[in-house]
Amino acid sequence: MDTVLFIVFAAVAVACAVNLILQKHPISSALSLVGVMGSLAVLYLLLGAEFMAVTQIVVYAGAVMVLFVFVIMLLNTGQETGGGKSWFAQVAGLPLLLAFIALMGLLICGPLMPRLRAVQFGSWHGGTARAIGRAIFTDYLLPFEVTSVLVLIAILGAVVLARKEID
Amino acid sequence: MNPSLPSIPLSWYLLLSAVLFTLGVAGFLYRKNIITVFMSIELMLNAVNLSFIAFAYQWRQVEGHIYAFFVMVVAAAEAAVGLAIILTIFKNRATLQIDDVDSMKL
């Protein structure tokens, strides 16, 4: 069963990602990105990361993508006009991308990688909200608190950047 | 667990992550709309998160989830600031094409 689920949702994720970079209109790209995030959430569930799957849906597919869609609607951009790509991207882009993916495949399937487990749904329950919360509020308390400062700075930055000039 | 069904090796998850990351890089390189480029960055972050969670499964450690969680928080903050920057660019220049915003290009 989890084999079927993996294949289906991996295919959906890759198809949506390809659609993201092929679509001319940003709103179609945004919907494709929502598709990628949703199928990644299913894959997280298969890997036993329950909390991360829910966070993926709530934070990414919910909050971040709503922000994107708001901005796309607000700016009403329309289709992108095909501009000339830089000569370097045109000449070396595709070969370098293929070389990168080949290198990653070699690294993942090669002898350098330790023996990887076979994924069985339900064989590990380490990603529950309880385990994550325990780790965040004991061992990773300082990074967590620093994160709150980061988010505060981001809020202030967004407000300052997007405000209207009053005078 | 049904033994007749073969289970997926973890390397498939890592390969999927690599493919998604490469697609994100391709979108970053080839697209000309600032918002689409920004979404390609989000795609790359998601691909890296999948790797983190796959390795958390491999080592049976919750730390991978914590790192993915922090990546997610930083991505949300980055999205807020980045979209504010995009709004400002559009307000000042009335364009979203990357080629039209090249004041800092050499």
- Triad A125, A127, A132: Cα angle to 5°: 135
Q: Tens digits of per-residue pLDDT, A111-156?
A: 888 888 888 888 888 889 999 999 999 999 999 999 999 999 999 9
The one-letter amino acid at A128: T
Minimal CA separation from B74 to chain A, in Å: 8
Nearest residue of chain B to residue A10 (CA atoms): B16
Cβ–Cβ gap A135/B63 under 8 Å: yes
Instruction: Report domain extents, chain A.
Output: 1-77, 128-167
Give long-range contacts, CB 8 A cutoff, 24+ apart: A142-145.
A143/B70
Statement: the pTM of the whole predicted model exceeds 0.95: no
CA distance A99 to B36: 24
Instruction: Report domain extents, chain B.
Output: 10-100
Nearest residue of chain B to residue A146 (CA atoms): B70
Cβ–Cβ gap A40/B7 under 8 Å: no
Cβ–Cβ gap B87/A161 under 8 Å: yes
Interchain CB contacts (distance < 8 Å): A and B: 240
The domain made up of A1-77 is a member of CATH 2.60.40.10: no
- Triad A87, A91, A93: Cα angle to 5°: 100
Minimal CA separation from A58 to chain B, in Å: 11
Q: What is the ipTM of this complex?
A: 0.90
Give long-range contacts, CB 8 A cutoff, 24+ apart: A56-64.
A56/B49, A56/B72, A59/B72, A59/B76, A60/B42, A60/B46, A60/B72, A60/B75, A60/B76, A61/A34, A61/A37, A63/B76, A64/B42, A64/B75, A64/B76, A64/B79
Where chain B has pLDDT below 70, the residues are 1-6
Model confidence at A167: pLDDT above 80: no
Model confidence at A9: pLDDT above 50: yes
Minimal CA separation from A26 to chain B, in Å: 6
The answer to whether B24 and A107 have CB atoms below 8 angstroms apart is no
Place of tokens 């989830």: B65
- pLDDT at residue B98 in the model: 84
The answer to whether B47 and B3 have CB atoms below 8 angstroms apart is no
Q: Tens digits of per-residue pLDDT, A77-103?
A: 766 666 666 777 778 888 999 999 999
Question: Is residue A149 less than 8 Å (CB to CB) from chain B?
Answer: no
Question: Is residue A82 less than 8 Å (CB to CB) from chain B?
Answer: yes
CATH, domain range B10-100? 1.10.287.3510
The answer to whether B48 and B81 have CB atoms below 8 angstroms apart is no
CA distance B58 to B35: 35
